[in-house]
Structure 1
Amino acid sequence: MKNGLRRVSHFTKRLLHVAASPMRRDHGRGGVVVHPYRGYGSQREALVMGRVYQQVALGRMIPRRGALRDTADVARRVLRRGVVRAKVDVRLGKNHRQVVTDRDGYFNVRLALESPLPIDVSWHRADIEVRADGHPLVQSQSEVYVPPQETDLLVISDIDDTVMFTGVAEKLKMLYRLFIKKAERRTAFPGVAALYQALHRGKNDKQERPILYVSRGPWAIYEMLEAFFQLNRIPVGPILFLREWGLSLRHPWPRRAEDHKRDLIERMLKLFDDLPCVLIGDSGQHDPEVYAQIVKTHPGRVMAVYIRRVDNDPEREKTIQRLHAELAAQGCALVLARDSLHIARHAYDNGFISTHGWDSVKQDVEQHAQNPEG
């Protein structure tokens, strides 16, 4: 009983600490703050995203750290509001563009790179300045990933039930696994970290391939997913959510996830128009159907579609097998896999990953089989 209460207390404190973490940027002062997300781009264009908030200051009696501070910061997070029509200036190298935030405080900057960025680095710094009426200038920075010129493959992956065990539909259970169970074994599918590292490094173990992740969840869980990626040693990349969940009377429901996912992938393929790609998803949602449409729309562009099987529905399997036959006629392999090892085998046989990468996935999966509790 005592152990159970202790675990619940530990879980609650950790959850509070992570939920409060975005509020620490203002050091309790409140006012207008900007939260940039990781950006991405090509040699021609970059995308920088984020949100501008108005948030209350921290009371003077609140300590600088501890559970009370975290509780107060969570309350401030609940009360904060997006700033509408704030002016956002983004500079990346010698390139510059100004936009205004939308009705929920979000900004999404598409920046034409008229002045080339250095080609000897992949991560670049974007400088951000925000001006809101009646408030002082706010400055921040964002990381922007631009793959090296010699990059040979683009990887686009779903997150929910593809990389991690449970998606945003079961956030509490996912949080419990993330902060109570050992993260490397209980939140990510066995072999996922090694598989994505192998795909990132490529056949010669020296590539820095772009991996773009998508989720059907809201931007509010961005920090949680960042923590998940870091704890599980999964290659970092821009996390691109499918839908913005700020609703209104005119738009009372979020856009259908599959429609938005298809449009998002189309945008990525247009941005990286000289790169072949692989798509990774799961059988539980609409990934196979969405990916099949992408393959048919972009013949010869998609090298493989990897679908993690997360259900035992025989009718679902028949549907995916029909898609397998359709894509085979298009010259694209659809691999329905129970585990990361099956995906890695196909990737290795087709030259997507190295011998070292293949061995790492095998070792990871075998270790998990011997010690599933990690």
Structure 2
Amino acid sequence: MLNILILFFYVSSSEWNLYDYLVSTFSFNQLPEGSFLLNQIKRWKDLLKTGKTGHEGKLMRIMRIIDAFPNQKFILFGDNSQRDTEIYTTIAIKYPESIEAIYIRNIRQEKQDAALDLLRKAEEKGIHTCLFKDSKEAMSHAVRIGLIGI
């Protein structure tokens, strides 16, 4: 029997003051428990920058996780509302042997073409990608590539 350990890392540009809310939301929606890696709470003088600087930190936190678990495969989930597609493609190019798949929820139709262009770069590295609107599409893709069984 094959033992597989699945760890969940939830890396977000959100700040730590949302931690309790996130844990409650994940529990309510029956999402797997995992480690949250969030941004530091900003100082008063930095409040006007909220949402502007967290994405570089997200990239660095994900790269630290991959560096800490060099023999693991990762599946990256995000959406195309901000910079997830760009961040994940950058990671895929740097760590192609560590990334099994990238899943991006298409919530901003006007960003669909840009997301597809970026995902093609990951596909060129042999990484499975899926831009989806509905979770059923992502699940079907995961079954098709062998990530989950029926």
Question: What's the TM-score, normalizing by structure 1?
Answer: 0.37
Contact 1:306/1:343 (CA < 8 Å) preserved in 2? yes
**Deviation (angstroms), 1:328:** 1.6
Q: Which has the higher strand share?
A: 1
Query: Residue 56 of structure 2 corresponds to which residue in structure 1?
Result: 259
Equivalent of residue 352 in structure 1, options 141, 147, 150: 147
TM-aligned CA distance change 1:231 to 1:251, over 3 Å: closer
Contact 1:247/1:253 (CA < 8 Å) preserved in 2? no
Equivalent of residue 25 in structure 2, options 228, 246, 249: 228
Query: Residue 326 of structure 1 corresponds to which residue in structure 2?
Result: 121
Query: Residue 280 of structure 1 corresponds to which residue in structure 2?
Result: 77
Alignment of 1:207-222 (within 5 A): 208-222=5-19
Alignment of 1:37-52 (within 5 A): none
Query: Residue 244 of structure 1 corresponds to which residue in structure 2?
Result: 40
Equivalent of residue 268 in structure 1, options 58, 65, 68: 65
Contact 1:212/1:240 (CA < 8 Å) preserved in 2? yes
Alignment of 1:4-83 (within 5 A): none
Contact 2:132/2:138 (CA < 8 Å) preserved in 1? yes
DSSP 3-state at the match of 2:109 = coil
Q: 1:259-313: per-residue Cα shift (whole Å, max 9, x none)?
A: 0010000011011111011100001110000000000011222111000011221
1:290 equivalenced with 2:77 (yes/no): no
**Deviation (angstroms), 1:224:** 1.4
Alignment of 1:86-235 (within 5 A): 150-151=3-4, 208-235=5-32
Distance in 2, matches of 1:272 and 1:338, equals: 31
1:338 equivalenced with 2:133 (yes/no): yes
DSSP 3-state at the match of 1:209 = coil
TM-aligned CA distance change 1:321 to 1:250, over 3 Å: closer
Unaligned runs of 5+ in 1: 1-149, 152-207, 356-374
Q: 1:228-280: per-residue Cα shift (whole Å, max 9, x none)?
A: 11111111111221x21232669984671220010000011011111011100
Distance in 2, matches of 1:250 and 1:231, equals: 32
Distance in 1, matches of 2:66 and 2:29, equals: 27
What letter corresponds to residue 332 of structure 1 in structure 2? Answer: I
**Deviation (angstroms), 1:325:** 2.1
Contact 1:305/1:335 (CA < 8 Å) preserved in 2? yes
Identity %: 25
Q: 1:54-74: per-residue Cα shift (whole Å, max 9, x none)?
A: xxxxxxxxxxxxxxxxxxxxx
**Deviation (angstroms), 1:216:** 2.0
Contact 2:85/2:119 (CA < 8 Å) preserved in 1? no
Higher Cα Rg, which structure: 1
Distance in 1, matches of 2:45 and 2:26, equals: 36
Q: 1:311-357: per-residue Cα shift (whole Å, max 9, x none)?
A: 221xx2221121232222111122100011111111111221121xx
Distance in 2, matches of 1:251 and 1:349, equals: 44
Unaligned runs of 5+ in 2: none
Contact 1:295/1:332 (CA < 8 Å) preserved in 2? yes
Contact 2:77/2:104 (CA < 8 Å) preserved in 1? yes
TM-aligned CA distance change 1:324 to 1:209, over 3 Å: same
DSSP 3-state at the match of 1:318 = helix
Q: Which has the higher helix share?
A: 2
Contact 1:288/1:323 (CA < 8 Å) preserved in 2? yes
TM-aligned CA distance change 1:325 to 1:253, over 3 Å: closer
